């Protein structure tokens, strides 16, 4: 299980163009690693657009945003293009990384049980240490929580 104060598990997943991206590629930067259920759904779109609209403030904290869902590369490409998303989306089709991070869970949707991603965000510092975990994220106000956590890393809190 991923814990605050411990090294974030490294991984390699394909981005929207099929290029292999690993978490360790971003050492030296703070990382906002967010897991979301599905491209082009209302909550996930609102979350992605929130990160997009705050990307300047995020980058000022020496941070990058990485989104992960179970969607394939083509779906990610359309989502990125449709909303001009300035960050990487990675495809975790087999749910290996989502499982390792403890966000792949049984969900109850309209009385049906199925496995899926529980919206979660991990703030990882420039050395690869998990500094903050947000589970069961509510989209409204989440970007502000992320910016506060990044500020605390920068300030050494």
Q: Residue 145, SS3?
A: helix
Strands laid side by side in the 120-124 sheet? 88-91, 63-69, 30-35, 120-124, 130-134
Buried b (16+ CB within 10 A) or exposed e, 46-64: ebbebbbebbeebeebebb
Residue 16 to residue 71: CA distance in whole angstroms: 10
Cα end-to-end distance, the chain, whole Å:
24
150 is catalytic: no
Spot the catalytic one: 44, 90, 97, 124. 44
How is residue 52 written in tokens? 């997009």
Residue 85 to residue 53: CA distance in whole angstroms: 9
Instruction: Give the single-character DSSP code of 10.
Output: P
Which residues does the annotation mark as catalytic? 44
């Amino acid at each position: 299980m991923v814990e605050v104060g411990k090294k974030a598990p490294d991984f390699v997943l394909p981005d929207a163009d099929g290029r292999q991206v690993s978490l360790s590629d971003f050492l030296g930067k703070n990382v906002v690693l967010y897991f979301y259920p599905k491209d082009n759904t209302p909550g996930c779109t609102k979350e992605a657009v929130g990160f997009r609209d705050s990307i300047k403030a995020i980058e000022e904290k020496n941070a990058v945003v990485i989104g992960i869902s179970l969607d394939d590369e083509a779906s990610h490409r359309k989502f990125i293009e449709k909303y001009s998303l300035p960050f990487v989306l990675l495809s975790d089709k087999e749910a290996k990384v989502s499982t390792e991070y403890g966000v792949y869970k049984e969900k109850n949707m309209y009385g049906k049980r199925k496995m899926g991603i529980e919206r979660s965000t991990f703030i990882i510092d420039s050395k690869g240490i998990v500094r903050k975990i947000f589970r069961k994220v509510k989209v409204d106000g989440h970007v502000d929580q992320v910016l506060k956590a990044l500020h605390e890393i920068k300030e050494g809190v």
